[in-house]
Amino acid sequence: MHDLTGFQRDLLYVIAGADRPSGQTVKDEVEKYYSSEINHGRLYPNLDTLVNKELVEKGQLDRRTNYYAITESGRQQIEERREWEEQYVEF
């Protein structure tokens, strides 16, 4: 996960917290957090990066809509990241 951008990490977290969200659903969730519009030219290349790194899998819901799902490797990366963060930040 160390080689992901902050935006890509945010996408990964959103996907991990949802049940096979569409790209539009991921976009809507990230826009809520960022409080600004995320254009398709930013969203989809970053989702493709997560797929290429095998952190997320991409499937088809129908002819026009893809879904994204966290992989085991993606879950492991999130877990490792959270463990790393906890050594610096405690609540």
In whole angstroms, give the CA distance from residue 35 to residue 38. 9
List, in sequence order, every residue forming a beta bridge with 56; answer none if it has no partner: 70
What is the percent of the chain with per-residue pLDDT over 70, rounded to a whole number? 100
Question: Does the domain formed by 6-84 have CATH 3.40.50.720?
Answer: no
Going by the DSSP 8-state scheme, the letter that residue 65 receives in this structure is -
Amino acid identity, position 36: S
Contact 71, 1 (CB under 8 A): no
Give residue 43's pLDDT band: very low, low, confident or very high (50, 70, 90): very high
pLDDT 10s digits, 1-26: 889 999 999 999 999 999 999 999 99
Could you tell me the residue ranges of all domains in the chain? Answer: 6-84
Give residue 37's pLDDT band: very low, low, confident or very high (50, 70, 90): very high
